Amino acid sequence: MEESITIVVDCYSEWIEINNRFIWRWKDDDMSESVLMTVQRDILYNDFVNSIISYCGLNCQPNDLVISYMHKSFENQRILPFKISNQLRLSTYLSDATRSVLRVYVVEKPIENENVGQDQ
């Protein structure tokens, strides 16, 4: 039988650097709650990303999503958050007994103007 685990996912904030430390700050001072998500320990990376999009009600493509966390042993040090970008990193995160809160954000891509360079 596959083991289910519950993780905490924060989909409503962003990483910022303050005083040589990276902290997670609510966007636009919006105090949204984190989402509890239950997954199988052996979930595939693509299924995991799609589950986050569904649980958080995000309107984005999977490759626009960035999933990261700050490991508890490094919280007060100046290091970049760990990113979960493939199956190996996901498996490492899920196997860690001290799972930190996942920090999820959507990469905003600039809208390209289709009329640039065209005669009017």
pLDDT digits (tens, 9 = 90+) for 11-54: 766 666 666 665 555 555 555 567 888 999 999 999 999 999 88
Topology, domain 4-106: Ubiquitin-like (UB roll) (3.10.20)
* pLDDT for position 69: 85
pLDDT at 72 over 80: no
Is beta strand 4-10 parallel, antiparallel or unpaired with respect to 102-106? parallel
Q: Tell me the DSSP string of 104-120.
A: EEEPPPPPP-TTTT---
Calculate the average pLDDT of the chain: 77
The DSSP secondary structure of 15-49, one letter per residue, reads EEEETTEEEEEEGGG--PPPEEEEEETT--HHHHH
Amino acid in position 102: L
Domain ranges of the chain: 4-106
- HSE on the CB side for 117, CA within 13 Å? 3
C-alpha to C-alpha distance for 79 and 105, rounded to whole angstroms? 19
Q: What is the pTM of this model?
A: 0.72
Percent of the chain with pLDDT over 90: 19
Q: Residue 49's pLDDT is what?
A: 94
